[in-house]
Amino acid sequence: MAEPIIRFEGVSKSFGEQVVLRDLSLDVAPGEFLTIIGRSGCGKTTALRLVNGLLSPDAGRVLVQGKDVAQTDPVALRRGIGYAIQSVGLFPHLTVEKNIAYVPSISGLEGWKGKERREKAEALLRRVGLEPELAGRYPRSLSGGQRQRVGIARALAAGPEILLMDEPFGAVDEITRGQLQDELLCLHQASGITVLFVTHDIGEALKLGTRTLVLEAGEVQQYAPPSEILSGPATPFVEELVCRSRQFQARA
């Protein structure tokens, strides 16, 4: 395995008495599409928020590109990591164009003003399968699927090497979700970006992931390519999980 781009080293995290992650160790190779699956409340979001420093571990370390997150300037770290969440969190007072340009703008990146900004926003809209004409609209006038796509465009704007996605397709209808999944796969293949994708849908996890991490009660049940998870579930929990989803096609 190449030098991992993200590494969890014996990470534990509790909220009060409640232990959410227990001694989690994990290496993610560059370009990997890691899907993280587990039931609601098992610590998936917590794991993601440890990567961009929104949370810090009680024990252990999280390394991003070889550097301990705890020793890194969180603002600079986050600007280099795309972040897309289920509720999207688009800024209602900004146009789609300005939403997309948010990270470049707060980072003071060159070439994100006036006409250039419009052109770059439009190019990103095309990349996520949207009409460039949407650039001037406000988020409230978009459909749920369109908002998700704008959220992904916004996460990609500053050209991050890592993309964190927290149940990004949880709130859209089945058909739109299928389209979004296919587009995300294309995007991943074209860009080689490393993706950490949280979901509670095993079908989605197996379809999208080059590797899948199954979490339960804060512990790793299995960490393997989807085909292995299907063919050799490591624990009864994984067995039961995949049992219901044998009909889904594995990606790798």
Partner 1 sequence: MELLQEIFSLYAQRSDWFLELLASHMALALSAIAMSGTLGLLLGVLISELPRLAPPVMGVCNVLYTVPAISLLGILIPFTGIGDKTAVIALTIYGVMPMVRNTYVGLTSLDPDILEAARGMGSTRVQLLLRVKLPMAAGVILAGLRNTVVMTISVAGIASFVGAGGLGVAIYRGITIYNPAMTAAGSVLIALLAFLCDLALGALERYFKKRGSP
Ligand X SMILES: Nc1ncnc2c1ncn2[C@@H]1O[C@H](COP(=O)(O)OP(=O)(O)O)[C@@H](O)[C@H]1O
Please identify which residue in 88, 130, 206, 214 interacts with partner 1, judged by CB under 8 A: 88
CB of 105 to partner 1, least distance (A): 8
Give the number of C-alpha atoms closer than 13 A to the C-alpha of residue 144, restricted to the C-beta side: 12
Give the residue among 120, 80, 78, 79 at the shortest CA–CA distance from 97: 120
Backbone φ, ψ for residue 55 (5° rounding): -130, 155
Cα separation of 198 and 212, whole Å?
A: 10
Asked if 242 and 230 touch (Cβ cutoff 8 Å), the reply is: yes
Q: In this complex, which beta carbon is closest to partner 1, that of residue 145 or of residue 226?
A: 145
Binding residues for partner 1 restricted to 121-150, rule: CB under 8 A: 138-140
Interacting span for partner 1 (CB under 8 A) from 1-9, 20-28, 61-69, 87-95: 87-95
Q: How far is the CB of 247 from ligand X (least distance, A)?
A: 25
Question: For the chain, first and last CA: distance in Å?
Answer: 16
Pick the binder of ligand X from 1, 2, 17, 40 (CB under 6 A): 40
Give 56 or 65: the residue with its C-beta nearer to ligand X: 56
CB of 196 to partner 1, least distance (A): 13
Among 98-106, 194-202, 222-230, 244-252, the segment contacting partner 1 (CB under 8 A):
98-106
Any contact of residue 141 with ligand X (CB under 6 A)? no
Nearest CB to Mg ion, comparing residues 86 and 181: 86
**C-alpha 243, offset from chain centre:** 25
Q: Which three-class secondary structure string do you get for 145-212? A: HHHHHHHHHHHHCCCCCEEEEECCCCCCCHHHHHHHHHHHHHHHHHHCCEEEEEECCHHHHHHHCCEE
Query: Phi and psi at residue 223, in whole multiples of 5°?
Result: -135, 100
Cβ neighbours of residue 9 closer than 8 Å, sequence gap 6 or more: 25, 60, 61, 62, 63
Token pair for residue 135? 């650039």
Work out how close the CB of 18 gets to partner 1 at its nearest, in angstroms, rounded to a whole number: 20
Following DSSP, what letter does each residue of 85-98 receive, concatenated? ETT----TTS-HHH
- Regarding 83 and contact with partner 1 (CB under 8 A), the answer is yes
Site for Mg ion in 32-91 (CB under 5 A): 45
Answer for which of 62, 103, 130, 230 binds partner 1 (CB under 8 A) is 103
Stretch of residues binding ligand X (CB under 6 A), selected from 25-33, 40-48, 128-136, 179-187: 40-48
Nearest residue to Mg ion, by Cβ distance, number only:
45
Scanning residues 44 to 63, which ones bind ligand X (CB under 6 A)?
A: 44-46
* Contacting positions for partner 1 (CB under 8 A): 49, 52, 54, 74-80, 83, 85, 87-93, 102-103, 106-107, 138-140, 151, 154-155, 164
* Contacting positions for ligand X (CB under 6 A): 15, 20, 38, 40-46
